[in-house]
Amino acid sequence: MRVLNCFNFHDFRRLAKRRLPRPIFDYIDGAADDETTYRRNTSSFETCDLVPNVLRGVRDIDMSVTVMGQKLAMPVYCSPTALQRLFHHQGERAVAAAAARYGTMFGVSSLGTVSLEEARQISSGPQVYQFYFHKDRGLNREMMARAKAAGVEVMMLTVDSITGGNRERDKRTGFAIPFHLTLAGMAQFAMKPAWAFDYITHESFKLPQLDNHVDMGGGALSISRYFTEMLDPALAWNDVAEMVQAWNGQFCLKGVMSVEDAKRAVEIGCTGIVLSNHGGRQLDGSRAAFDQLAEIVDAVGDQIDVIMDGGVQRGTHVLKALALGAKAVGVGRYYLFPLAAAGQAGVERALELMKIEIERDMRLMGCTSIDQLSRNNLRFR
């Protein structure tokens, strides 16, 4: 299978599975505990039906949106995700370039493998910095100042990861950064020599946002240990309020799921919230973002930009979220599997397919612009 023969999320996933060593594939594909929330994230869309209108004159389609002051050519953006150069040597470079080509927003993670500054040079489009709140307050201040200097438009603080989720697939393989694998995990790497050649023949793996604070040569820093040892479980609303004030710009909380928290985000001056359960990778059994979306929009949608991510695999999923009141939709695995399969060409192929699907589905819905979608176009089973 080649990337041009991929036509949906599942095709890309199968192609990535062929290329990646099992520990790395499982890191992308896996989730917490029994992975119940991971499955529900996508299945939640199946409880909602679209109700199209016809004879609306849909020759010209405008799928652009404005979210947190950023104009996007399509209502889907590439959510910040960690460790991308493990999946393909191009990593965030590929995602930044693909997002620029399709006029949408992308994000760089605190655990990103390309620097904020380099990503900014690749794309002049809207850039998000996904921030984890560390115990070292000096590190927090330094990272925020660095993001501001790099020209990042949106600060996105992840608030659902003060400790790592129970990702049992990673425990079985011994997945860690640097690699600290079990015998079974090492055997899986040996079975994928093409990936190993690609990894060895390109620049060494780094975490540029944390280079001055994490000794990558001094032993294995597992993902679980990073969350458990470096992040601050004492993070509270007053800390975030100080960050919002210090940033003095577009500030988003990622991982908000309750109405109470959404209202607090408004009170402290946030300009956006992302309804998210971290792709099912943190608290298993938590509610799917799509199922919670209407409740949050009804409570604060007229005061703050409400975004959602989790389980989005189709253009119809995006339209359902927008019809409920989301301003935009984030994707993660949707572009990570294409990245792993084919680098920038894979990410571009995935975004092109999503763009085509949304445009086609808008015509079939009888809508020429996103603001024409409403709850009148939805029915729940």
Catalytic positions, written as ranges: 278
Separation of alpha carbons 171 and 156, rounded Å = 28
Is the Cα dihedral 210, 347, 256, 168 positive or negative? Answer: negative
299 touches 262 (CB < 8 A): yes
Burial class (CB in 10 A: 0-12, 13-18, 19+), 246: middle
